[in-house]
């Protein structure tokens, strides 16, 4: 993500005061806070973050060499000698990134009404719906999700669901500069765990639901749960909207120490879903609030989005928008890319591209696919990401048993053997009535599924959604080592090829 210039400089002593640490012996202006030594520019403060693969203290000399004028460190003994720049010593660099990043960005969150959204599934869609319900030409609402950042017609690419704290505050400043008065921020569990949302007070936090995920990072379901639950503390939000259709949501609603609006199908809900349906035209819910009822629609496709839609409506109303205005706004909000994205052509199957990458999300996506073409068959293109969440692969395979045909394929192996990943998925399909084929080349698998499916069938392509880079090399996604690959583009090409072949 490109980094704009922020300001002429903030005194390093002001950063020290914000962090409650002794001021530097030599004061000087710093322009920005950076944690990647490759992105340092002259005048920057370099944060020596200790990560899983690298220690920023060991990279301090490189950062100083390209212009860093000061360092933020929690293990100063690891710094090379003779760097000749001031060092702010803090108990934890990670814990300091939020407060320091906010200060250097001009504390943009103070000028925004911030809403945070978390949950195992549905965060991006719920965030998009809510931002759409709050956005008005004279009072823009920014949006920051896995797909990227947006305010009005302006967009910015991002690398993480929730960016590192300095990047996050820079994006909030960018939104303010473009007229935003509010911002909806998708909050991942890992971001909460490592402090990326520190120093970001919210007016409201939204919880969409919970399913075991990211255990390669968190270790246990309870630790994963605790990471999400910390978003609902009084020092992080003033109030909460919580979907309570499963035990984890009810637990959160009971434990949260802020006022909670309960959303779900139960009679005890503040916003109760009386009816919900989804089809090719979108999703609709009938909500009961007190003695009144509200029928709410959106073009977003997917049965799972009934509670996401209800939560977005409830959050916008909780923030003070008129219920009728919220209902009208949601009717015009389209799904983010790769979330229930429908592709069609005359005489061809309907293709659905969806980000579903957990067993629960896949099960819901398969129900939606079957409802879209009740008389047809469902052809599923399924993989699993390498070097991540190996424990859930059998669960994905088990959920895939609801399909009629399953095409097991590569989703980006990141150093693992793609055939071994697919073999673990296949364990969950043992004994299934579905036809199961392994086609490791993803382009071939999608093309073959589209080619074989009948005109009344559905081809469901899951796992990658909006993503445009597929990588088999080890490590995080790197454009230099990844293949340009978008599931929707490949599916469209397959549909076009089928149309040309038909004459």
User: Is position 335 within any domain?
Assistant: no
Q: Are residues 131 and 224 in the same domain?
A: yes
User: Is position 473 within any domain?
Assistant: yes
Q: What is the pLDDT of residue 201?
A: 92
Given 63, 91, 119, the domain boundary residue is 91
Q: Are residues 268 and 377 in the same domain?
A: no
Query: Contact 56/44 with Cβ under 8 angstroms?
Result: no
Q: Are residues 56 and 137 in the same domain?
A: no
User: Is position 336 within any domain?
Assistant: no
31 annotated to a ligand binding site: no
Q: Are residues 49 and 28 in the same domain?
A: yes
Q: Are residues 78 and 145 in the same domain?
A: no
CA distances for 318 relative to 30, 215, 240, 292, 491, angstroms: 40, 33, 9, 15, 40
Q: Are residues 84 and 139 in the same domain?
A: no
Tens of pLDDT along the chain (503 residues)?
Answer: 555 544 568 999 999 999 999 999 999 999 999 999 999 999 999 999 998 778 999 999 999 999 999 999 999 999 999 999 999 999 999 999 999 999 999 999 999 999 999 998 889 999 999 999 999 998 999 999 999 999 999 999 888 778 899 999 999 999 999 999 999 999 988 888 888 898 899 999 999 988 756 556 656 878 888 888 899 999 999 999 999 999 999 999 999 999 999 999 999 999 999 999 999 999 999 999 998 999 999 999 999 899 999 999 999 999 999 999 999 999 999 999 999 999 999 999 999 999 999 999 999 999 999 999 999 999 999 999 998 888 889 999 999 999 999 999 999 999 999 999 999 999 999 999 999 999 999 999 999 999 999 999 999 999 999 999 999 999 888 889 999 999 999 999 999 999 888 87
447 annotated to a ligand binding site: no
293 annotated to a ligand binding site: no
Q: Are residues 315 and 345 in the same domain?
A: no
Rounded CA-CA distance 94/101 in Å is: 11
Task: State the residue range of the domain holding 71.
Answer: 10-91
Rounded CA-CA distance 200/392 in Å is: 32
CATH of the domain at 65: 3.40.1390.10
Q: Are residues 493 and 428 in the same domain?
A: yes
Q: What is the pLDDT of residue 5?
A: 47
Given 91, 116, 150, the domain boundary residue is 91
Query: Contact 206/130 with Cβ under 8 angstroms?
Result: yes
Query: Contact 57/84 with Cβ under 8 angstroms?
Result: no
Q: Are residues 262 and 136 in the same domain?
A: yes
Q: Are residues 71 and 155 in the same domain?
A: no
Q: What is the pLDDT of residue 218?
A: 53
37: left (phi over 0), alpha (psi -120 to 50) or beta: alpha
Given 330, 363, 389, the domain boundary residue is 330
Q: How many CA atoms lie within 13 A of 357 on its CB side?
A: 20
Q: Are residues 18 and 55 in the same domain?
A: yes
> How many domains, in total, are found in the chain?
3
Q: Name the pTM for this structure.
A: 0.92
Q: Are residues 317 and 355 in the same domain?
A: no
120 annotated to a ligand binding site: no
188 annotated to a ligand binding site: yes
Rounded CA-CA distance 228/211 in Å is: 11
């Amino acid at each position: 993500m490109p980094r704009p210039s922020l300001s002429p400089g903030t005194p390093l002593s002001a950063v020290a005061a914000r962090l409650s640490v002794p001021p530097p012996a030599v004061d000087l202006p710093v322009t920005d806070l950076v944690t990647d030594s490759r992105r340092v520019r002259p005048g920057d403060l370099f944060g020596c973050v200790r990560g899983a693969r690298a220690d920023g203290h060991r990279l301090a000399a490189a950062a100083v060499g390209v212009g860093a004028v000061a360092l933020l460190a929690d293990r100063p003994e690891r710094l090379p000698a003779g760097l000749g720049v001031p060092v702010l010593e803090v108990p934890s660099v990670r814990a300091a990134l939020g407060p320091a990043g906010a200060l250097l960005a001009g504390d943009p969150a103070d000028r925004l009404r911030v809403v945070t959204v978390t949950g195992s599934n549905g965060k991006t869609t719920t965030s998009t719906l809510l931002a759409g319900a709050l956005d008005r030409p004279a009072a823009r609402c920014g949006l920051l999700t896995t797909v990227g950042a947006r305010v009005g017609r302006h967009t910015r690419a991002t690398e993480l669901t929730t960016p590192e704290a300095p990047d996050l505050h820079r994006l909030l400043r960018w939104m303010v500069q473009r007229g935003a008065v509010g911002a909806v921020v998708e909050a991942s569990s890992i971001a909460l765990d490592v402090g990326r949302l520190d120093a970001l007070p919210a007016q409201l936090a939204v919880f969409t639901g919970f399913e075991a995920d990211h255990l390669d990072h968190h270790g246990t379901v309870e630790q994963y749960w605790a990471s999400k639950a910390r978003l609902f503390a009084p020092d992080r939000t003033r109030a909460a909207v919580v979907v309570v259709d499963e035990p984890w949501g009810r637990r959160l609603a009971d434990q949260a120490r802020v006022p909670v609006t309960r959303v779900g199908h139960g009679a005890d809900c503040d916003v109760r879903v009386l009816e919900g349906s989804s089809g090719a035209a979108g999703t609709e819910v009938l909500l009961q609030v007190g003695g009144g009822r509200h029928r709410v629609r959106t073009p977003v496709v997917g049965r799972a989005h009934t509670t996401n839609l209800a939560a977005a409506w409830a959050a916008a109303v909780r923030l003070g928008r008129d219920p009728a205005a919220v209902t009208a706004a949601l009717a015009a909000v389209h799904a983010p890319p790769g979330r229930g994205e429908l592709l069609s052509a005359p005489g061809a199957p309907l293709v659905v591209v969806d980000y579903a990458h957990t067993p629960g999300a896949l099960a819901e996506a398969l129900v939606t696919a079957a409802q879209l073409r009740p008389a047809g068959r469902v052809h599923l293109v399924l993989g699993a990401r390498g070097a991540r969440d190996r424990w859930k692969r059998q669960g994905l395979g088990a959920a895939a048993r609801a399909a009629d045909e399953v095409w097991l394929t590569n989703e980006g192996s990141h150093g693992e053997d793609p055939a071994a990943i697919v073999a673990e998925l296949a364990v969950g399909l043992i004994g299934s009535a579905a036809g199961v084929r392994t086609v490791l080349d993803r382009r071939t698998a999608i093309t073959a599924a589209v080619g074989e499916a009948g005109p009344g069938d559905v081809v469901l392509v899951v796992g990658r959604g909006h993503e445009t880079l597929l990588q088999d090399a080890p490590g995080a996604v790197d454009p230099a080592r990844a293949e340009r690959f978008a599931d929707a583009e490949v599916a469209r090409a397959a549909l076009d090829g089928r149309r040309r072949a038909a004459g």
